[in-house]
Amino acid sequence: MNPSRPPALLKGIEEEALLGTQACQAVPLSSRIAARDSSFVVEPDGRNVEYVAGPHVGYDELAAELAAKRLALRHLLRDLGGFRIIPGATLPLDEPPEFHLSDPLDPYYRSIRDAYGDRVVTAGSHISIGFGRPEELFRVYRVLRCEAAMYLALSASSPFYRGRVSGRHSTRWDIFPHTPSSVPLFQSHRAYIAWVEEKLRSGEMFNRRHLWVAVRPNGPDTPVNLDRLELRICDAMVDAADLLSITALLEARVLFLLEHPDLDPVAIHPEQQLLEEIATNEAAAAQSSLDANIIRWNDGARVPMRVWIAETLAEIAPIARRAGLRDRLVDFAEPAKLASPAQRWVQRARSGESVVQILESEAVAAERRDGLR
């Protein structure tokens, strides 16, 4: 192993925010936000807005841009009528199952409404890591697909849905349409291109970005020109520090995998077995987050999620130290004591707080952290 400091990777974060039904007036609030600031982008349903920070090599720069985007959105929401971002990753209050089409003339938006309804009205935090070589990108993609449940467990923040405690820690990942229905582990870039082209011909994908899976290859001209992997499984995180810690965990894991080219799930197990285990692990993480039990991909053993996280942290510790990421991972130092946002909120609900009380206090705390108050 090369003992020198590994190069920092380009990192970008795409966040979605939930605005709520009260924001859907004659002109949806998301459209009004985008009209005021073009760095914010509408989503198919008018209750969502999206923005991007990065890519950056350094965390200080990434953190500064993320903070600026969050604060700008909060100021826009306040100026446009005293609105606020709903904490978590699903619409938590009891609302009619309607779709508020942000642009009735957009055929892609209409197709999403017709195919999925309001199951897509969720908020996630998507983390992208840059790559220069497609063969490395796809090998790392295969490992991250097998490990994505770990990141969902750490970020789970959607235990409320339709006005009640849903019984799941990530209701978002449980209800969100994963499409196409089966996505391979792609053993080459050529295989990926052929697969996407076939799905476009069959109509299972509406366009080249209609690939909603825990981890996806991405780039300026996907599927041909790729330059990053996008981790899409994380729930929206109200605390930017938590999001940056998970980003550092992902970067350290990628650096470790780049230094260990022998690690490849499809070299150990049949692809279909891996895909079944991936689905099982993601469902377990959505249900119980850090209290889940998962199937470890390298040996097929069933272990607690916290054990899996502790093993991963121990494995990446040397490279995290060399890459200057160790301080970013300090919040994960004791996995036995970790709690996802969903776990904390569910505990408060069990102690007698209402969903509205929890959301109100979390919204106020998030606004203070982001510098609004």
Query: Residue 305: pLDDT above 50?
Result: yes
Please give the full DSSP string across 147-201, using - where no structure is assigned: HHHHHHHHH--B-EETTEE-S-SBHHHHHS--BSS-----SSHHHHHHHHHHHHH
The yes-or-no verdict on residue 86 having pLDDT over 90 is yes
CATH architecture group of domain 11-369: 2-Layer Sandwich (3.30)
φ, ψ for residue 267, nearest 5 deg: -85, -10
Give the residue from 53, 46, 52 showing the smallest Cα distance to 19: 46
Is residue 354 within 8 Å of residue 92, measured between CB atoms?
Answer: no
- Which residue, among 359, 197, 324, has the nearest Cα to 211 in the 3D structure? 197
Distance CA 255, CA 128 (A): 14
Band (95; pLDDT cuts 50, 70, 90): confident
Domain assignments of the chain as residue spans, ordered by start? 11-369
Q: pLDDT tens, 30-74? A: 999 999 999 999 999 999 999 999 999 999 999 999 999 999 999
Pairing between strand 228-231 and 125-130?
A: antiparallel
178-205 average pLDDT score: 97
For residue 171, how far is the Cα from the chain centroid? 13
The percent of residues in the chain predicted with pLDDT above 90, rounded, is 93
Which of 12-21, 123-132, 148-157 has the weakest average pLDDT?
Answer: 12-21
**What does the alpha-carbon distance between residue 246 and residue 211 come to, in Å, rounded to a whole number?**
23
